[in-house]
Amino acid sequence: MNTKIQATLAATLLASTLLAAPASAEVLALTGATVHPVSSDPIPDGTVLIEDGRITAVGSDIVAPPGARIIDLDGLHLYPGFVHPASQLGLREINSVAGTIDTAEMGSVNAALRAEVAFNHDSMLLPASVAGGILSAHVVPGGGLIQGSSAVLELDGWSWEEMVLKAPVGMHMEFPPAAVDDENNEDLARIEQVLDQARHHLRASEAARAGTAPAPMRNDQLEALAPLLRGEQPLFIRANRYDVIEKALDWAQDQGFEDLVLMTSPDVQYLAERLARDGIPVILQNVYALPSRRWEPYDMAFVAAARLAEAGVQFAISDDGNDAANARNLPFQAGTAAAHGLDKLSALRSVTLWPAQILGLGDELGSIEVGKRASLFAASGDPLEPMTRIERVWIAGAEYDLMRDPGRRAYERYRERNRQAQGR
């Protein structure tokens, strides 16, 4: 066998072992790294065992079983993948090209829309996000008043169907800002009207099931609201301005929605006490925002997360969701919150464990713990630091080829080409 063929064969073998999902019987042992479970203290020189896509052991004195494939990560740091709390990844590709945007449907009531069915599993933005440590995302709809349901997807797979971890996660609603000082606001009236219709429809359907009434006409929009009205699904309510948030919370409570998640802006800090008291979790959309008002302190948005933490609010840090291409910058938003008063561990949890818990996936994602999905990455250091490099990634136990990131691919191609052009 000539050496060229040998090299090619070796490369092929290497690639196939790197890329193939581990056989179900195979045990993967990640050793030597400092393991950051996030839910507990870091473990220097720790070991993580992975079997069947799940974490089966974590600790410093774990012995890999015979036959386990051992991957030495000496000098690196293992973290659970970031869980993006609210993104439009998969629904949005090139912002200025309308044909690539599936974020906002026409009309004001779209309860029956499901975000996951338009999730482009081969979006070029996904490998870039994964290379930044974002391994799962809560994909949320936008536009209109009642916006449809969201889904959490893992960012690797051959179709959206196999990437969905949970769908629907909840019903999404934009609270109309004008309703704050207008008792006859048309948008809010429309929302209430639809909810009333859905309640009637639900009662009629239940009566039909009990055999006491004929079945009502099918109506997807109204039926999609049934899980919310039965209290089986949370309402994600979006409100940004201080007074709109307050009004939205009053309204949701009047409507009897107990399972609420507030998606909001840094203004939420002014309502921290109330949110803590009422036990309403918050998705803080954007630390990187200018102050809402001219006279507010320059760091008003930077300190919002620390204010929520001080008051005891359950929260996750998100970007504003519109810039899906830079979902990879999510951890830095948490880092900046830490520069301005949030403790570092809380900052890390706000983009891992806490979003997982708020999204109802606290047993699956967000920390390196036995039983959870083996979706984690090895980094050169603290992953909230922009200087840190993410070196290797596993999603559900399978190593992800980071060269799928278009940026890394172009980098390798053009670095070589530029060197040749300079005669080096």
Partner 1 sequence: MIRQAILSAAVALFGLWSGLSHAQWTPDIEAWNSPQPEQVDAVVFRNATVWTADEAGVLENTDLLVRNGRIEAIGSELRAPRDAMEIDATGMHLTPGIIDAHSHSAILGGVNEASRISTADVRIRDVIDPESINIYRQLAGGVTAINLLHGSANAIGGQMAVIKMRWGAEPDELVIDTAPPGIKFALGENPKQSNWSNDTPRYPRTRQGVAQIIREKFQQAADYQRAMDDAPRGRAARDRVPPRPDHELEAIAEIINGERDVHSHAYRADEMLALMRIAEDFDFTIRTFQHVLEGYKIAPQMAEHGVGGSTFIDWWAFKYEARDAIAFNPALMNESGVLTGLHSDDSELARRMNLEAAKAVRYGGVDEHEALMMITANPARQLGIGDRTGRLAEGLDADLVLWNGHPLSVYSRVEQTWVDGRRYFDREADQRMREALAAEREQLMALVLAEGEASDSDEGASTDADDAPELLAQHPAHASYLTGYRPSELAYDEFCHAHEH
Report the residue from 5, 97, 106, 217 that binds partner 1 according to the rule CB under 8 A. 97
State yes or no: residue 325 binds partner 1 (CB under 8 A).
Answer: yes
Q: Of 209 and 389, which has the nearer Cβ to partner 1?
A: 389
State yes or no: residue 274 binds partner 1 (CB under 8 A).
Answer: no
Candidates 1-9, 164-172, 303-311, 384-392 — which segment interacts with partner 1 by CB under 8 A?
384-392
State yes or no: residue 120 binds partner 1 (CB under 8 A).
Answer: no
Residue with tokens 């207008």: 182
Four-residue CA torsion sign, 111, 117, 118, 124: positive
Peptide bond into 234 cis (omega under 30): no
The Cα–Cα gap between 191 and 390 comes to 45
Report the residue from 108, 219, 255, 292 that binds partner 1 according to the rule CB under 8 A. 292
State yes or no: residue 176 binds partner 1 (CB under 8 A).
Answer: no
Candidates 11-19, 63-71, 216-224, 379-387 — which segment interacts with partner 1 by CB under 8 A?
379-387
| Three-state DSSP class for residue 65 | coil
State yes or no: residue 314 binds partner 1 (CB under 8 A).
Answer: no
Q: Of 65 and 381, which has the nearer Cβ to partner 1?
A: 381
Q: Of 92 and 372, which has the nearer Cβ to partner 1?
A: 92
Report the residue from 124, 204, 207, 311 that binds partner 1 according to the rule CB under 8 A. 124
Q: How far apart are the first and last CA of the chain?
A: 32
User: Token pair for residue 164?
Assistant: 């969905």
Query: Which of these, 183, 214, 184, 216, lies nearest to 198 by C-alpha position?
Result: 216
Q: Of 40 and 418, which has the nearer Cβ to partner 1?
A: 418
Query: Which of these, 255, 236, 84, lies nearest to 145 by C-alpha position?
Result: 236
Residue with tokens 């030495």: 72
Q: DSSP states of 350-405 as a string?
A: TTTHHHHHHTT-TTTSSS--TTSB--EEEESS-TTSTT--EEEEEETTEEE-GGGS
At residue 80, φ and ψ (nearest 5 deg) are: -70, 150
User: Token pair for residue 4?
Assistant: 């060229």
Q: How far is the CB of 241 from partner 1 (least distance, A)?
A: 6
State yes or no: residue 16 binds partner 1 (CB under 8 A).
Answer: no
Query: Which of these, 157, 222, 233, 232, lies nearest to 195 by C-alpha position?
Result: 222
State yes or no: residue 340 binds partner 1 (CB under 8 A).
Answer: yes
Helix (H) or strand (E) holding 11: helix 3-19
State yes or no: residue 385 binds partner 1 (CB under 8 A).
Answer: yes
Q: How far is the CB of 405 from partner 1 (least distance, A)?
A: 9
Distances from the Cα of 117 to the Cα of 90, 126, 146, 161, 302, angstroms: 10, 16, 18, 8, 35
Report the residue from 104, 117, 290, 403 that binds partner 1 according to the rule CB under 8 A. 290
State yes or no: residue 388 binds partner 1 (CB under 8 A).
Answer: yes
Candidates 24-32, 51-59, 273-281, 285-293 — which segment interacts with partner 1 by CB under 8 A?
285-293
Q: 238 has which bridge partners?
A: 174, 263
User: Token pair for residue 194?
Assistant: 């639809």
State yes or no: residue 226 binds partner 1 (CB under 8 A).
Answer: no
Helix (H) or strand (E) holding 108: none
- Within 303-405, where are the H helices? 304-311, 330-339, 344-349, 353-358
State yes or no: residue 251 binds partner 1 (CB under 8 A).
Answer: no
Report the residue from 52, 323, 391, 401 that binds partner 1 according to the rule CB under 8 A. 323
Candidates 151-159, 193-201, 230-238, 317-325 — which segment interacts with partner 1 by CB under 8 A?
317-325
| Three-state DSSP class for residue 51 | strand
Candidates 44-52, 205-213, 290-298, 361-369 — which segment interacts with partner 1 by CB under 8 A?
290-298
State yes or no: residue 299 binds partner 1 (CB under 8 A).
Answer: yes
Candidates 16-24, 201-209, 284-292, 360-368 — which segment interacts with partner 1 by CB under 8 A?
284-292
Asked whether 253 and 283 are in contact (CB, 8 A), the reply is no
Nearby residues of 132 by Cβ (< 8 Å), 6 or more positions away: 82, 327, 328, 329, 330, 331, 390
Q: Of 65 and 386, which has the nearer Cβ to partner 1?
A: 386
Q: How many residues touch partner 1 (CB under 8 A)?
A: 57
Chain residues that interact with partner 1, rule: CB under 8 A: 93-97, 124-125, 180-181, 241-244, 267, 270, 288-299, 322-326, 328-329, 332, 335-336, 338-340, 344, 384-389, 406-408, 410-411, 414-415, 418, 421-422
